[in-house]
Structure 1
Amino acid sequence: MVKTTNKKDNSDGFFAALKAFFRDERTQFAFGIVLLIGVLYVFMALLSFFFTGEADQSIVNGQYSSIEELKDITNWTGSYGAYLAEVIINRWFGVAAFAFLWFPFVAALRLIGIRLMALWKAFLFSSLFMVWFSLFFEFFLSSIFDNTFIKIGGEHGELCVTWLKIYVGTPGTFFILLGTGVLFAIFVFSSTLPFFKRLFSKKGQTETIDLESSAVDFEEDEKLEENGETIPSDWIITESDGEEEDSLSTPTVKKVQVDDDASIEIEIESTVAENEVIDDYSVENLGLYDPTLELSDYKYPTLNLLKEYPQTQTFVNKEEQDANQKRIITTLRHYGIGIKRIFETVGPTITLYEIVPEDGVRISKIRNLEADIMLSLAATGIRIIAPIPGKGTIGIEVPNSSPKIVSMYATIGSKKFQESTYDLPIALGRTITNEVFMFDLCKMPHLLVAGATGQGKSVGLNVLITSLLYKKHPSQLKFVLIDPKKVEFNIYTGIEKHFLAKLPDEVEPVVTESEKVVQTLNSLCKEMDHRYDLLKIAHVRNIKEYNEKFVNRRLNPEKGHKFLPYIVVVIDEFGDLIMTVGKEVEMPIARIAQLARAVGIHMVIATQRPSVNIITGVIKANFPARIAFKVSAMVDSKIILDGSGAEQLVGKGDLLFSQGAEFVRVQCAFVDTPEVENVVQFISNQRGYPTAFELPEPDVAEADAQEIGAVDLNNRDELFEAAARLVVSTQQGSASNIQRRFSVGYNRAGRIVDQLEAAGIIGPYEGSKPRQVLVQTEYDLERILNNL
């Protein structure tokens, strides 16, 4: 039995590895190159057939006895190409077979990463073009090519046309070809139907003049200079606003004064009939812009991907509640504290007992009895809230003996989450009152998560990410995942082309190296500055107003405007980053935390070391929203929350959420690794974008940036020439590309980029746009290198 199971596991592992191999971007690129070469080979074979087919036909169609006879083949692609061209053109679809090459050409570009059109459309158009033109050429041109070696419509066209002529005759065949051609053109070319409408519409009796397209605006200048001559302003035709409306329906006469004694009258008659409708192609008629249109078939994850835990388990039975109440009352009476009334609220993990003390009892006296109450209840830990804000009662939180699992299934499926209108809704878990606890990350706007090892911090981050995946479309949200441990966020690599953002030319979508973390954060700062520039041009204050303007088509994409998705940066093990790179990450994080809220960039930082050198004053000042899981000491709780309480939590997802001075105790939802894998697999199986969302290329290091403009080309880097050839061949002049190809550090790659700019091989830095490659051919590059 064990042996059979092992075989099955090995088989599953093989197919998983095979699937991962074919889904790898490098594999797809390699297949795309091979397919593109194949398309070019077939194209050359077919093209050569028109020039060499007659000479090769006797050999291709005959029986050759030795390989020596194949040497007489004159086709540019050899004997295989000659035979292939003979079969495709003469025996299949004739000259129309060229049309079918469009489909493999589109498929090859798609594998490389260039999207021209949908594959099913390319296949449909190629097939229909090939079949129809095969019949068309055979019907109209076969008589011209009767005495040649080329069957213009192929055997397919010859057979079909012969069959049609037998059954419907020559006129019937003509009308069938005409009708199918017109129908095909209508559905393929959007301009066909308007052309026929104009062709058969009622026309005016006089020749038209397009005033709108031929008019010249002279309002700003008094004189117009043309071909060296000056035209006086009194020659200019002017028209009042009132005449504009009438000019569409009645003829108008304008006089242009040439000199004092003569005038020329130009009569312009209306060409629009009274009942004719003028097509209006204004922006208003286009409707609202839909950012989800590119992935319009995207489906949100379903609830059945998550595990549903049974709801039959009880939290705290009535006997336990009554016993706890009696113990609390007895303990307080031992110390002379009378109780007016006591009532409880049962939650999934803890039960809140609210007491109303008698008049004259000092609250500090009850707070000091925390250890005594915990002893009498035999609890693992209690927390006293004295008083509960806004209630006038004192709360005592006691852990349940049988805590309940708060499932992600129940949390995501709750009515509160499903009907939420938050911009970035996060369903964190359930409160003491057993209500779903949600918050909008946009309003936080950044989140600090801390807690001891094994207390639920990583599960909390997965809950945060999963909540957003269930609610947002890939066009509306991007994640930047930073994971120094390299294993926590690796599970999300499958949604790289849907939800992840990364540096240009970066292979791994999840940032794991400290050096890359600094570059990524600097890149986010540049993205933030670029977005602020767009907001400034659009005269708006935040990303919500900007996107609303863009959706309403009030911003011109040709001027650089685009729909801006939210970017959520999730950093795990922040303490490790501070230990390795220190201030290099603290400064960009502080900049993002201070400024990025308005442009839709939000940060979530998690650490298991809540010490003052990790969570500094700069970090705490810019992260007002905080989540504290169980910590070992009160001092750690004060560092995270600026108050005690986190050291009294029971662990296993029990947390305190703080925004300002108010604490909310929440039992974090539980989402297991297989559930996350199901969600990621569901999304990754759908069509995504060609590449991940690319962040702008980070600036060259400050020390290197000061040297720009003063680069000594006599002291060039050893890799300068190799890098120059790489840039020209790939037409990509980025430092990250050079860094990855030559395995050099970022500073050295930045210096090479500066030298390439000084040599005139690449253009200057242009913000978020890639550098322009100024040299297009290797010949020009060699000329530049020889002159250095």
Structure 2
Amino acid sequence: MSKNKLKNEKPESKQPKGTTTPNPDVLKKDKEPEVKVKELVKDERTHKVMGVFFLLLAVYCFIAFTSYLFTWEDDQDKIFHYSTRELLLGDVKVDNLLGRLGAYVSHNFFFYGVGIAAYLFCYFFFIIGVNFIVGRRVFRVWRNVKYILFGLLFISTTMAFIAGGGNFPWGGALGDALNKWTSGFVGKTGTALLLLVIGLSWLIWKFNWDFKWPEKKVKPPKPVQAVVPAPVPAATVAVPVPAKEEPARKNGLKEEGGMLHPSAAVTEEEENDLPPMQLVEKEEELSIPPAHTAYIPPDPVAVVTPVNAALLDEELVEEEEEVEDPGPLLYIEETPEKIDPTPRKKDNGTEVAFEIKPTFRDEEEDVEIVAPAAPVEPVDPFDPSLDLRDYKFPTLDLLENHNADKVIVQDTTELEKNKNQIIDTLKNYDISIQKISATVGPTVTLYEIVPAAGVRISRIKNLEDDIALSLSALGIRIIAPIPGKGTIGIEVPNVKKSIVSLKNLLASEKFQTSTMDLPIAIGKKIDNENFIADLAKMPHLLMAGATGQGKSVGINTLLVSLLYKKHPSQLKFVLVDPKKVELSLYKLIEKHFLAKLPGEEDAIITDTKKVIHTLNALCIEMDLRYDLLKEAGTRNIREYNAKFTQRRLNPLKGHRYLPFIVLVVDEFADLIMTAGKEVEMPIARLAQLARAVGIHLIIATQRPSVNIITGTIKANFPARIAFKVSSKIDSRTILDIGGAEQLIGQGDMLVSFNGELVRLQCAFVDTPEVESVAEFIGNQKGYPDAFLLPEYVDDKDPDGKELSIADRDPLFEEAAQVIVSTQQGSTSLLQRRMKLGYNRAGRLMDQLEAASIVGPNMGSKAREVLVKTESELQEILNNLL
């Protein structure tokens, strides 16, 4: 027993002093968490608890004060009769709704405090509670504290002065003391005047009232007869005139509700039957001539429903009776299909003027696209399209109209709600505005506000998140200011979004009648105007956006736009698709529109090595085209093709018709990660030089980071499209400005072109539609083969080069002897022994490898020397001669 016990026990000498052996049978106590006061104060839950406490305190005081107004006589006697101890701890019965404590608190606030002004404490507790619960500064505490302090002094003194010697403590002890001192100092009359001046001064400072003295009325001169054509058009402009101006009727102008209208002479009976005029038709901007003439504009577009005739400019009534200023008005511009002749009510002077601008309407017809007519030439011009003279352009029936109604829904309730939310949010931060207008787009609505004088733009710009919170929007974008306008724009996503169909854009007159070299229909602006651009003037396009935000649809939109406008002889595509599935739909049009390298089977390039060869082949094609332009004495492809079609260039000397070439890279980041400089350098060279010879680039990527889109590439891609990205850094990388991270996705994009940043909704074209267009073109007769690019041979590819005497370096034999004698296949050895630069020593080593003297490159290790003796080397050199 004793031995076992000794074995199980550890010697005491091995245990540190002051330590005890833990007993496994005794459970350890859980470590109690340490509560830090600093962290507890900063905790969000503590703030919410405090907010609830202050809100309940506000409600408690309000109920107690209100009950005191009716029970003060009985409760006051009991408070004076009993001591504080008996009142709070005894069994005294009071009439206040909140018991003895409510009676005691109310008595102290009213009798010993500030009287009826005690209600301001309820407001103070309320704003403190709201700020704590919400977790942000909904109410400005310091500003409200100033107002509350002023109110306590002013209201208590005023109520004490008005109530005089009444029994109820209207002004409290503070008000009575201030009133007694002021009355003794300046008298009762002086006290009344002083209180009146202080009250009016505060109201003027707070509301900035406008005091106007009525101007002297000037008798209007006799009107001059208006020249009106016999048939009166439907579009007329109503001009306000004095109600008692009788000579206007004699001159053929009919008076209607205070307006003059050109018409035949109208009898008083007919005039009485007509309703008062409330509508003004206009084309783009309402331009009113002087009051003595009537103006008839051509072809009305929009209808304005004014609330008051005084909305017209002051120049129109400068010779008439004075019209009372109605203050800011609310008026809505609508499209002609939705005319509301009901006159609107006058708004009070405190509201901000609000208008809904009309969206741009374009007449759309299903017109079949025909080939552009050849220019009239004096002598039988060359027509490149004769090779495929039976080619038919795709029809619009192949595309679907995804938005059947073609009308953007203007939800007046939503617009009015957002307008009020924006105004209220700005008012909470002491920002006042003069006017607000709304332009409804397919997916977003642009609210343009005109800030009041003295408001800093940066204050509104910093409220982006606060406005988004008040509107409950996915994300808003503030443009401060809008370029070319004196307004600040707030873009708010619509609740009901509209799809922009590519069919509608291609059927528009703007696209059908365009004379651009490479017209592309991108989408619609916020005002519903079609955005048609010329790729030849961009001249290259850089696209970026996160996965699933519409980038691939955008590429299809651009390609289909070009297919609907250009003949196969005028345009060729070079398609690079590392994903291998995005651009495979266009394989059917290989013999019509695609270009490829000689000997390649597939025209759509997916292999990285073939991409490098294709890009270098495009560089060779670019150089060849520049040589042709130089010989022809022209500066760009348009001048060259014009000369060639006029038969002023000889095909026997190598001249040919040059089609436009559009290079499309679907995922540029993948190429940069796999090939790096081998891809970046030819693309940078094409971007710098290829625009004049008709080679244009469309590059898309999911990662707009600085290591993918380098400075060299960005400098040569002035036109950029950004779909929704994940961060502001990515937005600045692609656009040089933030904003793309605030987009709402699904084709919502920002286009930077010609120094402008425009927000568009990308036109939508579905995959089955692209297949239909490709099948329609592919089923027609095409060229025997795709357009062949120049052949490119990689110098680093041993299969594609042969060693010849002409290509061999003069120091080849000397370098071979150095390598064989030292038996070290090192480039640095050649540099040291032969005093060569790295590039020439590297070329010599490649030539030695081609001659089978050294082995292939092994990275940081030296190459293997395959020739061991001088005699073997001499035999190889003799065979090379």
TM-score normalised by L of structure 2: 0.48
Call closer, same or farther: CA 1:333–1:539 in 2, change over 3 Å: same
Q: Is the 8 A contact 2:595 2:787 kept in 1?
A: yes
How far apart are residue 708 of structure 1 and its match? 4.9
Find the partner of 1:480 among 563, 574, 584: 574
Q: Is the 8 A contact 1:523 1:699 kept in 2?
A: no
How far apart are residue 571 of structure 1 and its match? 0.3
- The residue number in structure 1 matching 2:559 is 465
Q: Is the 8 A contact 2:573 2:664 kept in 1?
A: yes
Name the CA distance, whole Å, in 2 between partners of 1:290 and 1:554: 14
Which ranges in structure 2 are unaligned for 5 or more consecutive residues?
1-376, 809-842, 852-878
Listed as ranges, the matches of 1:226-305 within 5 Å are: 287-305=380-398
Residues 354-400 of structure 1: CA deviation (Å, up to 9, x unaligned):
00010000000000011110011000000000000111000000000
- The residue number in structure 2 matching 1:502 is 596
How far apart are residue 311 of structure 1 and its match? 1.4
Residues 56-88 of structure 1: CA deviation (Å, up to 9, x unaligned):
xxxxxxxxxxxxxxxxxxxxxxxxxxxxxxxxx
Q: Is the 8 A contact 2:408 2:441 kept in 1?
A: no
Call closer, same or farther: CA 1:563–1:313 in 2, change over 3 Å: closer
Call closer, same or farther: CA 1:616–1:540 in 2, change over 3 Å: same
Aligned-partner residue type, residue 288 of structure 1 = P
Aligned-partner residue type, residue 390 of structure 1 = G
**Does residue 385 in structure 1 map to residue 453 in structure 2?**
no
Name the CA distance, whole Å, in 1 between partners of 2:517 and 2:658: 13
- The residue number in structure 2 matching 1:369 is 463
Listed as ranges, the matches of 1:194-205 within 5 Å are: none
Q: Is the 8 A contact 2:388 2:781 kept in 1?
A: yes
Aligned-partner residue type, residue 396 of structure 2 = L
**Does residue 436 in structure 1 map to residue 530 in structure 2?**
yes
**Does residue 403 in structure 1 map to residue 497 in structure 2?**
yes
How far apart are residue 700 of structure 1 and its match? 3.2
Name the CA distance, whole Å, in 2 between partners of 1:491 and 1:624: 29
Residues 510-546 of structure 1: CA deviation (Å, up to 9, x unaligned):
0000000000000000000000000000000000000
Name the CA distance, whole Å, in 1 between partners of 2:690 and 2:664: 14
Find the partner of 2:667 among 573, 597, 604: 573
Q: Is the 8 A contact 2:621 2:789 kept in 1?
A: yes
Aligned-partner residue type, residue 483 of structure 2 = P
How far apart are residue 561 of structure 1 and its match? 0.3
Residues 647-689 of structure 1: CA deviation (Å, up to 9, x unaligned):
0000000000002542000000000000000000000011000
Q: Is the 8 A contact 1:316 1:401 kept in 2?
A: no
- The residue number in structure 1 matching 2:126 is none
Alignment partner of 1:292: what SS?
helix
Higher relative contact order (CA 8 A, sep 6+): 1
Q: Is the 8 A contact 1:305 1:679 kept in 2?
A: yes
Q: Is the 8 A contact 1:455 1:653 kept in 2?
A: yes
Alignment partner of 1:605: what SS?
strand
Cα RMSD (Å) of the superposition? 2.2
Aligned residues: 437
- The residue number in structure 1 matching 2:636 is 542
Find the partner of 2:680 among 582, 586, 602: 586
Find the partner of 1:630 among 716, 724, 736: 724
- The residue number in structure 1 matching 2:691 is 597
- The residue number in structure 1 matching 2:753 is 659
Call closer, same or farther: CA 1:342–1:576 in 2, change over 3 Å: same
Alignment partner of 2:447: what SS?
strand
Alignment partner of 2:455: what SS?
coil
Choose between structure 1 and 2: higher helix proportion.
Answer: 1
Find the partner of 2:545 among 434, 441, 451: 451
Q: Is the 8 A contact 1:315 1:349 kept in 2?
A: no
Q: Is the 8 A contact 2:408 2:440 kept in 1?
A: no
Q: Is the 8 A contact 1:316 1:402 kept in 2?
A: no
Alignment partner of 2:522: what SS?
strand
How far apart are residue 312 of structure 1 and its match? 6.0
Aligned-partner residue type, residue 532 of structure 1 = Y
Name the CA distance, whole Å, in 2 between partners of 1:440 and 1:285: 29
How far apart are residue 787 of structure 1 and its match? 13
Name the CA distance, whole Å, in 2 between partners of 1:471 and 1:445: 18
**Does residue 333 in structure 1 map to residue 423 in structure 2?**
no
Alignment partner of 1:567: what SS?
strand
Aligned-partner residue type, residue 298 of structure 1 = Y
How far apart are residue 308 of structure 1 and its match? 1.4
Alignment partner of 2:782: what SS?
coil
- The residue number in structure 1 matching 2:706 is 612
Percent identical across equivalent pairs?
65
Aligned-partner residue type, residue 455 of structure 1 = Q
Find the partner of 1:674 among 755, 762, 768: 768
Name the CA distance, whole Å, in 1 between partners of 2:645 and 2:744: 47
Name the CA distance, whole Å, in 2 between partners of 1:574 and 1:600: 21
Aligned-partner residue type, residue 606 of structure 2 = T
Call closer, same or farther: CA 1:646–1:707 in 2, change over 3 Å: farther
Name the CA distance, whole Å, in 2 between partners of 1:516 and 1:339: 60
Q: Is the 8 A contact 1:315 1:400 kept in 2?
A: no
Name the CA distance, whole Å, in 2 between partners of 1:285 and 1:372: 67
Which ranges in structure 1 are unaligned for 5 or more consecutive residues?
1-283, 713-746, 756-785
How far apart are residue 709 of structure 1 and its match? 3.8
Call closer, same or farther: CA 1:344–1:543 in 2, change over 3 Å: same
Residues 488-517 of structure 1: CA deviation (Å, up to 9, x unaligned):
011100000000000001100100000000
**Does residue 359 in structure 1 map to residue 460 in structure 2?**
no
Call closer, same or farther: CA 1:706–1:691 in 2, change over 3 Å: closer
Alignment partner of 2:450: what SS?
strand
How far apart are residue 315 of structure 1 and its match? 3.1
- The residue number in structure 2 matching 1:103 is none
TM-score normalised by L of structure 1: 0.54
Call closer, same or farther: CA 1:709–1:348 in 2, change over 3 Å: farther
Residues 731-750 of structure 1: CA deviation (Å, up to 9, x unaligned):
xxxxxxxxxxxxxxxx9xx9
Alignment partner of 2:589: what SS?
helix
Aligned-partner residue type, residue 499 of structure 2 = I
Call closer, same or farther: CA 1:314–1:552 in 2, change over 3 Å: closer
Name the CA distance, whole Å, in 2 between partners of 1:482 and 1:708: 35
**Does residue 696 in structure 1 map to residue 794 in structure 2?**
no
Call closer, same or farther: CA 1:404–1:708 in 2, change over 3 Å: farther
How far apart are residue 402 of structure 1 and its match? 1.0
Aligned-partner residue type, residue 747 of structure 2 = G
How far apart are residue 313 of structure 1 and its match? 6.4
Name the CA distance, whole Å, in 1 between partners of 2:601 and 2:797: 27
